Structure formats: C-alpha cells, structure tokens
Structure 1
Amino acid sequence: MKTLLFTSAIISMTFSLVGCKDAGPNVETSAPPATVETHDNHEGHDHPSEGPHHGGLIELGNEEYHAELVHDEDIGSVTIYVLNAAATEQIPIDSTEITINVEHEGKPEQFALVASPDATDPQGKSSRFVSTDAELGEHLDEEGADPKLVLTIDGKSFRGTIEHDHDHEDHDH
C-alpha cells in the first residue's frame, strides 16, 4: 500500500512540475529596443513610421514616451524632440540637456544636446534639444556605435536605443 501511495505521489508531483505546454504565442515581458524603423503593428496598435518633424522615432520606456531624432547632415546638427506616447505632440521636460552615448573605436563617448525650447514650451522647460557637434552625427552612422539616448522625464530616467538608418545610396558605413 505504501508503495502504491508513494508511486501516486511521485506521478502527481511530476505532472505538477512539468505542467501543460501552451501552444499559444510567446509573450515578451521586456520592451523591444527603440528604433527609427517603421513600426506597423505592436501589441495590437499602429505606430507612426516617423515623428512630426519627419525624423526617426526612439521608444522610451514601455511606450510611455517617444523621442524623435532629426539629423541635418548639411549643417551637422542633431535635434531630439521629446514626444508623447503616441509620438504626435512635443512634451516639454525639466532638463537643460540630454545625452547621447556612443561607442567609438571601442571607447564610450558622450554628447550633450542642449535645451533649445520651442516658442510654445513653458518657461524653464524644453521639448527640443540640439547638438551642433558634427562628430555626433558622424558617430551615429558608424557601424557598432550602438547610440543610446539618455534623459529624465518627471524624475524617471529613460534610455532609448537609436538605430540611425539612411536611405542614401551613396552613403558608406
């Protein structure tokens, strides 16, 4: 009798540990990396392929915010706009600068983008940040640079991956 009880207990424990395998789709718990590529449908809703200024989008947090990167190669400037979750409106934040971190020749480099408030931004806040350092623009295009945008919104730190792609046929990487 003890053997039968023991065998039943072992079998029950085996099934409870193994459980059933769900054939449904796998669900990722972490947010996907931010990208400037087109988002067609993520988590059941559409994403714009570019920001209101025709720049690439960077996801911040679990789509709590977005940032838009506009790179003007002619003058060597990089502008970041802080946007709402839908990536449709600028959101002014309490920062005088934000940072883009890159890898260059195996070493980390940081570039500050200085607040350049739009006329509609309230006093002491900015939704637009600019760098005129041409080196930053060059590094965004380098293979392996792995650029990251770092900023704080309402006391919470955000980090977004920048994938800076070009449609230029004559542009070498």
Structure 2
Amino acid sequence: MSVRLPKLVSLLLLPMALCIAGCADTADDNSAPVTDLPPATVDDHDGHDHGTHDHPSEGPHHGELVELGDDQYHGEVVHNEETGGVTVYILDGSATKQVAIDAADVRINVKHGDKPEQFKLAAKPDDGDEDGKSSRFASANKELGTLLDADGAAPQLVVKIDGKSYRGSISHSHDHEGHDHAH
C-alpha cells in the first residue's frame, strides 16, 4: 500500500494544482497591461500610416524616432533649423528615456548623388549622463542637415551599444513649413 499512496496523493493533488495554475492565468488575462508610455504627442501630420507601435510617434525632444535593433533602443534625430546642425539622442526601447552609452560618436550614413557619405556626431553628454558616457551626440555640419532631407539620400543611423552595432533608417518625410525642429 505504501507504493500506491504516493501515486494516489499525486493523482489527487494534480487537479488541485491545475486549478490553482488556471486561476492564476485567468487573473493575469483579465488585468489591464501597465505601461508608463506617454500618448503620441503629435498627430499623424505626414499622412502615412505608421502602424501600431508601443512607443510615441516622436521623441521627448520632438524629433523623429529611429528604431534600433528589435525596438531595443531608439535614436531621436533633432534638426536645428537655425544652425543647420543635427542632434541624436539615444533612447530606451519605449522611446521615452535617454540612455547613456559608452561611445565617442554615432554616425549617419547618407547617399550624396551616387556617392555614400558618412558623418560623425560627437558625444556631448547631457545632464544626468554617467561619467564617460553620453546619451546625446551632435554635429554642427550644415551639409548633414540638408542631406537628411534630400531625395534619395536614404539616411541611416549607426550606433554601437555595449559592443553591438545597431542600424536604423531615418525617414524624414514631412516638410519643414511651420514645423520647428529646434525645440
């Protein structure tokens, strides 16, 4: 009988364990997801359907978002209309918080005619960035600002984070009339 008792106890406990596990799953399914993501801060003013994303339609500095990796990180590209320069902020996967990385620069590759051209944006640590790291990268090169908006430029942001390279397309598709990038 001692051999049968463990089997009997197992058979009696199994339905109870499944019931408890099922109840726990049901509670999770009925609860609303918790997110700290802000709502999109701009209307879809360029007329394109951007699909459903779990992040805002523009970055915290009102720049264009560039997906890096499988939404592991984002770049935020901000044009300064007054100076012609470009600033890139590295953001987390939700595209809401800056992430300081250990990099001296990030790069933007563009096509200029048939010729590829690469621009380096130097690290300019922002307030709160850890020593030796930066979440902000900038270039005062006016040519870069112009080329980002040029037809056929196909700009791409290239970033190295923790030894891994990330590349994302910059799709600047709206005109500048009445839209100030220098926030």
Q: Same fold (TM over 0.5)?
A: yes
Q: Alignment partner for residue 52 of structure 2, among 28, 32, 41?
A: 41
Query: Which stretches in structure 2 are left out of the alignment for 5+ residues?
Result: 1-45, 179-183
1:165 matched residue in structure 2: 173
SS of residue in 1 equivalent to 2:143:
helix
Q: Is the 8 A contact 1:39 1:47 kept in 2?
A: no
1:115 matched residue in structure 2: 123
1:101 matched residue in structure 2: 109
Q: Identity of paired residues, percent?
A: 58
Aligned partner of 1:76: which letter? Answer: G
2:156 matched residue in structure 1: 148
In 1: Cα distance, 2:62 partner to 2:51 partner: 17
1:58 matched residue in structure 2: 66
In 2: Cα distance, 1:142 partner to 1:79 partner: 18
Aligned partner of 1:116: which letter? Answer: K
CA change 1:107–1:164 in 2 (3 A) is: same
Q: Report the Cα offset of residue 73 of structure 1.
A: 1.7
TM-score, normalising length: structure 1: 0.72
Q: Is the 8 A contact 1:76 1:133 kept in 2?
A: yes
Q: Report the Cα offset of residue 119 of structure 1.
A: 1.8
Q: Report the Cα offset of residue 169 of structure 1.
A: 4.6
Q: Report the Cα offset of residue 166 of structure 1.
A: 2.6
Query: Which stretches in structure 1 are left out of the alignment for 5+ residues?
Result: 1-35
1:135 matched residue in structure 2: 143
Question: Which string of whole-angstrom CA distances, capped at 9 and with x for unpartnered residues, describes residues 88-139 of structure 1?
Answer: 0000000011100000011000000000001200110000000000000010
SS of residue in 2 equivalent to 1:49:
coil
Of Structure 1 and Structure 2, the greater helix share is in: 2
Q: Is the 8 A contact 1:104 1:139 kept in 2?
A: yes
How many residues are paired up? Answer: 133
Aligned partner of 1:64: which letter? Answer: Q
**Greater C-alpha Rg:** 2
